[in-house]
Amino acid sequence: MINTEQEKQILRYLKSKGLAEDMQLEIFDHIIIQIENHIENGDSFEQAFEKIKISWKRDLENVWLNWYRVPIIQAKKVKSIGRNIFIKSFTISIVLVCLLFSLIGIFSKENIILIYRYYIYAIIGITICLLVSNIKYTFSILQRKIAIGDLYSSPIISIFVVIASSVIRNIQEIDSIFDIIIQNRFLELSILIIVIYIYTALALYLSFLSIKFYKDSKQFKINKENTFPTN
Amino acid sequence: MKINKSLYKGTLQNIILKLLATEIKMYGYQITQKAKELTKGHLEITEGALYPILHKLEDEGIIVSETKKINGRERKYYLLTKKGKLQQRIYEEDMKIYLFNLNTIFNQ
């Protein structure tokens, strides 16, 4: 009953609301059925579409999620699923941090530097994978927001990242820095807390990325034959 | 007679699971209509409540989705997994006890 041009109009409307593709698929179908019902009752497409826009207004209204605006319906999904992911990520990150710190006692300084470098490479690698994969599902959108927004743009965390990367780059010269620090207990303790914080944040981020990447890939497999009309 | 919608709030997940257990395979719009039909219009599950619950259940492995092409467009159907069927039976038993207790209190 609804022609391709009208379908495109509906899809443009959903995209303009910033809805991720995993939710677009079924909401698009849902709206079409609702519009068809209105048309059966005598409305024109335009009238029916206007009524549907009003009925969906609240669910598609954009709200703040962390630092970004997303439709309420998607924010609800992120909140309900995000909690589980956060718990899993947090557990993995604790294990990773414990592992990294336990390595200090086992390996030589050179090996630890190498492990830390691979650790950073892994984070950068997964981020790039997600950015170039062009999968526009809730998790990848959220992921990008966390990657670009929370980690790199957040002033406090980015300072930590800069410190961490410069420490890794200049780790050969760290002995002389430690000589100064070791004479000041307060400074020593502060540096230790900052280092633990940096690695906990990075480990948390790495786990978060991995879980989300896995979920997005799974979602992508489900919807790979998705036949949305193109703009 | 208008019923306070918030009374259904905590039971929506159970209602969706029960509908899926009965109908085997359903899509979003169908779930809202079935709930409305069975309750003679009293229960209107809003889309804003329905889809986040469905996605959460899918994430927990309680339901699984499959897409089918209907009238040239994709439709996402949900069905219970093995774990979901088991879980649903437990929820249903809990729900019956809950309803029995409510009955006892309100019918005295």
Q: Could you read off the pLDDT of B30-51 as tens digits, one per residue?
A: 999 999 999 988 888 999 999 9
| pLDDT of B92 over the 90 cut | yes
H-run or E-run covering B66:
strand B63-70
Task: Answer with the residue of higher pLDDT: B12 or A180.
Answer: B12
Predicted local distance difference test score (pLDDT) of residue A149: 41
SS3 A81: helix
CA atoms A134, B67, A50, A10: torsion sign: positive
**Do A50 and A25 contact (CB within 8 A), yes or no?**
no
Closest alpha carbon within chain B to A34: B29
Helices vs strands, H then E, count in chain A: 9, 2
Task: Name the amino acid, one letter, at A97.
Answer: V
Closest alpha carbon within chain A to B64: A222
**Do A151 and A157 contact (CB within 8 A), yes or no?**
yes
Whether residues A29 and B47 touch (CB distance < 8 A) is answered with no
Whether residues B73 and A72 touch (CB distance < 8 A) is answered with no
Rounded-to-integer distance, Cα A167 and Cα A197, Å: 14
Predicted local distance difference test score (pLDDT) of residue A134: 53
Q: Could you give the ipTM of this predicted complex? A: 0.90
Q: What is the pLDDT along chain A (231 residues), one digit of tens a residue?
A: 788 899 999 999 998 988 887 788 889 999 999 999 999 999 999 999 999 999 999 999 988 776 567 888 888 887 777 666 666 666 766 676 666 666 655 556 566 666 666 666 766 666 666 566 555 556 555 555 554 444 443 444 445 555 555 555 555 555 555 555 555 555 555 555 656 656 666 666 666 666 666 666 665 555 544 444 433
Predicted local distance difference test score (pLDDT) of residue B10: 81
Q: How big is the A-B interface in CB pairs under 8 Å? A: 72
Predicted local distance difference test score (pLDDT) of residue B107: 87
Task: Name the amino acid, one letter, at A220.
Answer: F
Q: Compute the average pLDDT of residues B63-67.
A: 90
Predicted local distance difference test score (pLDDT) of residue A217: 64
Cβ within 8 Å of residue B29, ≥6 positions away: A29, A30, A33, A34
Task: Name the amino acid, one letter, at A81.
Answer: I
Nearest to A222 among B49, B52, B65 (CB): B65
Chain A residues with a Cβ under 8 Å from any Cβ in chain B: 7, 22-23, 25-30, 32-34, 56, 58-59, 72-73, 76-77, 79-81, 84, 138, 215, 222-223, 225-228
Identify the DSSP state of B81: -
Rounded-to-integer distance, Cα B44 and Cα B25, Å: 20
Q: How far is B24 from chain A (nearest CA, A)?
A: 18
Rounded-to-integer distance, Cα B103 and Cα B108, Å: 8
Rounded-to-integer distance, Cα B36 and Cα B43, Å: 5
Q: How many CB atoms lie within 10 A of CB B49?
A: 20
Whether residues B67 and A25 touch (CB distance < 8 A) is answered with yes
Q: How far is B105 from chain A (nearest CA, A)?
A: 33
Cβ within 8 Å of residue B31, ≥6 positions away: B16, B19, B20, B45, B50, B78
Rounded-to-integer distance, Cα B65 and Cα A218, Å: 12
For residue B63, the cross-strand partners are B80
Whether residues A29 and B76 touch (CB distance < 8 A) is answered with yes
Q: How many CA atoms within 13 Å lie on the side-chain side of A213?
A: 18
Nearest to A204 by CA among A138, A160, A166, A163: A160
Q: How far is A146 from chain B (nearest CA, A)?
A: 20
Nearest to A226 among B52, B55, B74 (CB): B74
Chain A residues touching residue B56 (CB < 8 angstroms): 77, 80-81
Q: How far is B63 from chain A (nearest CA, A)?
A: 14
Q: Which residues of A70-88 are buried (b: 16+ CB within 10 A; e: fewer)?
A: bbbbbbbbbebbbeebeee
**Do B88 and B17 contact (CB within 8 A), yes or no?**
yes
Nearest to B67 among A72, A73, A223 (CB): A223
**Do A168 and A53 contact (CB within 8 A), yes or no?**
no
Could you report the per-residue pLDDT of B69-83, keeping only the tens digit for each?
Answer: 888 888 999 999 999
Strand order across the beta sheet in which B25-27 lies? B25-27, B73-80, B63-70
